Amino acid sequence: MAESFASSDSMNPSSNGGWNQFNEERITPIKKYALRNPSLIVGMALLFGMLFLVGIGHLIWDTEMFRPLSTPTRLPPTGEHPFGTDTQGRDLLAIAILGTPLTLRIGLIAGITAISLGTVAAFLSAYYRGVIDGAIRSVVDVGLAMPALLILILVRINVGRELSTDEMGIAIGLTSWVFPARTIRSQVLVMREQAYVELSRLSGTSGMGIIFKEMMPNLIPYITASLVASVAGAILASIGLEAIGLGNFSQPTLGMTIYWNIQFSSITLGMWWWWVPPLVAIVIVFVSLFLISSGLDEWSNPRLRKRV
């Protein structure tokens, strides 16, 4: 008989109905929790702060200058070109303003593809067990042994032409869904053994009803944490792909900027202003995503760990 002090303090719900009640039950616990979860706050602040700056950039800066030969070459940061220009005459501020959201877009597309595929596979194999479970599990195990980047390299070469950013996002998503599939499947397996799932089935709820009404709500914090992790992984893969020259040469993404830096070995030319901004942008993206995902992990885990 665990002596749990927490469960005995009864929070009395407010009785007036409607929005206020919804707010009371659903939002305040989240708000109250969020305040106690620093890494989530800092992560969000970093990410949205950067996007906000990029947004302003779109308004006040002529982003057309991201095309090659639109500015004099190799200019260090000056009043006219605050971020300087590269060897092919691109304005690096325009590149930063357009590039960051573009890379995030690839990451998001890939993350969402990976999560939806992973969640479906996780539910299919964990809830319905049997042959489906065996098949999906072996696909996942093989997927883990085949790094997504290498497969993308093969795919990219055989497609023969440059992938658009959206196509790259989907391609990365299709090759990295095994990671979320594996983690979400283990959570569904744990949840499936809980008594309230069995009770719901005996109350006449259908299989689908159980998945969406009983299991999904508890999984949401966990799935969002996996989504953020997948986005970060996808961005890493996309930059990697672009850095070895398999990206889309006409797109000013962060990865392509890194590629040009390596290609023209900007370091030996001493053009620090060429590789520092993309580097800073990438670090901010990764650190913020990492903080958000560890914040969400903590939020999803105590609830599940308390049950399991």
For another protein, the binding residues (CB under 8 A) are 1-3, 5-11, 13, 25, 138, 141-142, 144-151, 153-155, 157-160, 182, 194-196, 198-205, 214, 217-218, 233, 236-237, 239-240, 243-246, 258, 261-262, 267-268, 270, 272, 275, 279, 282-283, 286-287, 290, 303, 307
Cβ closest to another protein, residue 173 vs residue 233: 233
Shortest spacing between CB 80 and another protein, in angstroms: 26
Alpha helix (H) residue ranges in the chain = 18-22, 28-35, 38-60, 92-128, 130-145, 148-159, 165-175, 178-192, 195-202, 207-209, 216-243, 254-263, 272-307
Cβ closest to another protein, residue 54 vs residue 151: 151
Cβ closest to another protein, residue 9 vs residue 79: 9
Shortest spacing between CB 105 and another protein, in angstroms: 19
Which residues, 6+ apart, have CB-to-CB distance to 197 below 8 Å?
A: 191, 210, 214, 215
Tally Cβ neighbours within 10 Å of residue 273: 19
User: Which tokens hold the place of 214?
Assistant: 């009983």
Residue with tokens 């399991």: 308
Shortest spacing between CB 245 and another protein, in angstroms: 6
CA 104 to CA 163: how far, in whole Å?
16
For residue 146, give Cα distances in angstroms to 2, 51, 108, 143: 46, 33, 22, 5
Cβ closest to another protein, residue 61 vs residue 272: 272
Cβ closest to another protein, residue 65 vs residue 246: 246
Shortest spacing between CB 62 and another protein, in angstroms: 28
Shortest spacing between CB 97 and another protein, in angstroms: 20
